[in-house]
Amino acid sequence: MDIIRVEGGHALGGTVSVSGAKNSALKLMAATLLTCGRTTLTNVPDIADVHVMGKVLKGIGAKIDVIDEHTLEIDTSAVDSWEAPYELVAQMRASTAVMGPLLGRFGRAKIAMPGGCNLGARKIDLHILGLETLGVSFDTDHGYIHARATEGLVGSSVALDFPSVGATENLIMAAVRAKGETIIDNAACEPEITDLATMLNEMGACVRGAGTPVVTIEGVSELHPVEHRVIGDRIEAGTFLVAGALMADAAGIEVVGFNPTHLGMVLKKLELMGVSYRRCDHGVRIRRASAFEPVDIQTLPYPGFPTDMQAQVMILSALARGGSVITENIFENRFMFASELVRMGANIRIESHHAVIHGVGNLSGAQVVAPDLRGGAALVVAGLVAEGTTEVSSIHHIDRGYEHFTEKLAALGAAVARTTVPDPVEG
């Protein structure tokens, strides 16, 4: 099996460029189904989740040409099916993002029901309730959801109980081809939704208010293929910023290729923790902090503190001068990382959806298991500051969303490498 081995204590310097945003790229790939022709996406990250979405699209008849490592040309002219099969949805829940576009183009979709994942139950009831308002009827059998808009999609007013990212995206992608106007109230405001709306508008759609809680969509009868560049990955950027706050040399490290505005709340919390940074061209230069102040953090929908940065920032709290509380409000089961960090010497107590953290003087390298994508990356980052060697296993989670993670860290000066070791279970 592959592991990532990190030797702690090496200072970081230089510049790291983040890849295109995973959470944008996946939805933009799905959105190409709304048109008939060749759409070009640039700045697409070369990560496992993008490969899974590629398989979903190919499975329904799209043709994908890889122009270069980060450019995909997706031809949707021959799409002749509307099914996202179980083996792919089970690998990646975001496969359900094809439901809205398939309904928009064909008025039907057959999607395997996503089960839970290691972040909890992760339901799609809000996707379904919203699409029902647009005239879609749903049946389930043998683990599949059959969605049909027999009379066509009709624009309507949808109020989401919670600003779900996935539900907002599926609704927007269906509504761009509905008859008349759709208003989504309490929509998610994440930058990836704005990126999706930007591409849809370039394709000829009429989406207004994306990035705010009220999104208005005027349906159009046809969309055309375009070329679109995926925004930079704010979460990958945030992960490197935490690495810099822990281990940058006196000159600091520069993290570029993303819009710092997309990390507003993270930067604010870093500042409160005593980390100094400044914005530079296309990114942020960050310095190592001599000490971290404790701060309380709650994860919230954008522009609140992102749940996808919770694990990384917990490392700083674990080393802070005092007690911090991190409250997880988005996912029910997102503290598995904490028990791995405890194995590295952190003092963390989990009480329901709160992590109560008492800062310790240092972390020590250990063998740890990546619990999920962000938690896995955070363990590698914790290894950068820990005394001795850290070995992170189950790194397939990290591969889902971080392109060349070890190479990028090594280029900054980290002593980190991916290596193959015998699987202890298989002997």
Q: How many CB atoms lie within 10 A of CB 106?
A: 17
311 vs 30: CA distance, rounded Å = 28
| Cα(79)–Cα(102) distance, integer angstroms | 10
Q: Which of 29, 53, 112, 124 binds ligand UD1 (CB under 6 A)?
A: 124
Nearer to ligand UD1 (CB atom), residue 6 or residue 263: 263
Residue 25: what residue type? A
Q: Is 331 in the site for ligand UD1 (CB under 6 A)?
A: yes
For residue 410, how far is the Cα from the chain centroid?
23
d(CA 174, CA 136) in angstroms, rounded, equals 10
Give the separation between CA 6 and CA 291, rounded to whole angstroms.
22
Which residue's CB is nearer to ligand UD1, number 67 or number 121?
121
Number of residues that bind ligand UD1 (CB under 6 A): 20
Which residue in the set 330, 341, 344, 381 belongs to the binding site for ligand UD1 (CB under 6 A)? 330
Single out the residue of 147, 139, 199 nearest to residue 172, CA to CA: 199
Flag whether 347 is marked binding: no
22 is in an annotated binding site: yes
Nearer to ligand UD1, 307 or 393 (CB): 307
Q: Of 40-48, 76-84, 160-168, 247-255, which part binds ligand UD1 (CB under 6 A)? A: 160-168
- Of 84, 111, 126, 326, the one binding ligand UD1 (CB under 6 A) is 126
Does 23 count as an annotated binding residue?
yes
Which of the stretches 121-129, 137-145, 249-257, 390-398 binds ligand UD1 when contact is defined by CB under 6 A? Answer: 121-129
Which of the residues are catalytic?
A: 117
Sole binder of ligand UD1 in the list 25, 29, 74, 94 (CB under 6 A) = 94
Residues 237-296 binding ligand UD1 (CB under 6 A) are none
Instruction: Calculate the dihedral angle through the C-alpha atoms of 134, 29, 87, 161, rounding to the nearest 10 degrees.
Output: -40
Burial track 360-380 (b if 16+ CB lie within 10 A, e otherwise): eeebebbebbbbbbbbbbbbb
Asked whether position 23 contacts ligand UD1 by CB under 6 A, the answer is yes
d(CA 35, CA 135): 21
Rounded least distance, CB 387 to ligand UD1, Å: 31
Annotated binding residue 58: no
How far is the C-alpha of 268 from the C-alpha of 223, rounded, in Å?
Answer: 40
> What phi, psi does 331 have (nearest 5°)?
-115, 145
**CA atoms of 237 and 21, how far apart (whole Å):** 10
For ligand UD1, give the closer residue by CB, 82 or 331: 331
> What tokens appear for 342 in the block?
């405890």
Q: Does 99 help bind ligand UD1 (rule: CB under 6 A)?
A: no
- Binding site membership: which residues? 22-23, 93, 308, 330
Binding annotation for UDP-N-acetyl-alpha-D-glucosamine: 93, 308, 330
Binding region for ligand UD1 (CB under 6 A)? 23, 26, 94, 121-127, 162, 164-167, 188, 307-308, 330-331
